[in-house]
Structure formats: structure tokens, C-alpha cells
């Protein structure tokens, strides 16, 4: 039996993350895209439950950070960041490390 299809909101979240990462002002944009895709592949079979809820919340927070930083970078000044740096000093996915 094939695995169940992801919820449409999750698919929309994934697509928005990929779109935001595509224009994210970073020297490691390709690595960021690869990390997003890999994390979604690993999490695809979670189904429902507290762990899945936590991953969805982390993804939504990461999307907010990506979109906020991209919007800030489109303004005046240099907002380019390097690998391992996020909007709040950690990973662009909301974790503490890089």
C-alpha cells in the first residue's frame, strides 16, 4: 500500500520554503535548498503526533525567518549571510546551531 499523501497545507508549506530559499541572500543557497529537501524526505513518514507537530512548527518558523530575512535583504544595505548564520544567530530553521 502506498504511503498516504501529505496534507495540502504541508505541501504548500514545503513549496513556500523552497521558493523563499531560492531567493534567500546566502552564499550557500544550494546547501540550504538541499537541507530543506533532505529534512522533508526524512520527515515524510511521521504521520500525526507530537513529533510531527513539532517538526511542522519548526518548518513554519523557518519559513517566517526565511521570508523575513529575504524581505530585509531586499532593502538598503548588505544583508548577505554566510553558511551557519540565521536571522537570530542560529540555523535558518530555528535551531540553536548552524
Specify the pLDDT at position 34.
93
Specify the pLDDT at position 87.
45
* Interval 26-35: pLDDT, tens: 888 899 899 9
Question: Could you tell me the residue ranges of all domains in the chain?
Answer: 8-73
18 alpha carbon, distance to own chain's centre: 7
* β-bridge mates for residue 81, sequence order: 26
For the segment 62-68, the average pLDDT, to the nearest whole number, is 87
User: 0.85 exceeded by the pTM?
Assistant: no
* Interval 15-62: pLDDT, tens: 999 998 888 878 888 998 999 999 888 887 777 888 888 888 888 888
Specify the pLDDT at position 96.
44
Amino acid at each position: 500500500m502506498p504511503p498516504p499523501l501529505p496534507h495540502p497545507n504541508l505541501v504548500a508549506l514545503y513549496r513556500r520554503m523552497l521558493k523563499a530559499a531560492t531567493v534567500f541572500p546566502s552564499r550557500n543557497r544550494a546547501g540550504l535548498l538541499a537541507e530543506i529537501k533532505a529534512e522533508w524526505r526524512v520527515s515524510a513518514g511521521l504521520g500525526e503526533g507530537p513529533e510531527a507537530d513539532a517538526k511542522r512548527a519548526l518548518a513554519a518558523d523557518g519559513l517566517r525567518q526565511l521570508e523575513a530575512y529575504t524581505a530585509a535583504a531586499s532593502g538598503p544595505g548588505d544583508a548577505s549571510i554566510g553558511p551557519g548564520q540565521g536571522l537570530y544567530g542560529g540555523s535558518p530553521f530555528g535551531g540553536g546551531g548552524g
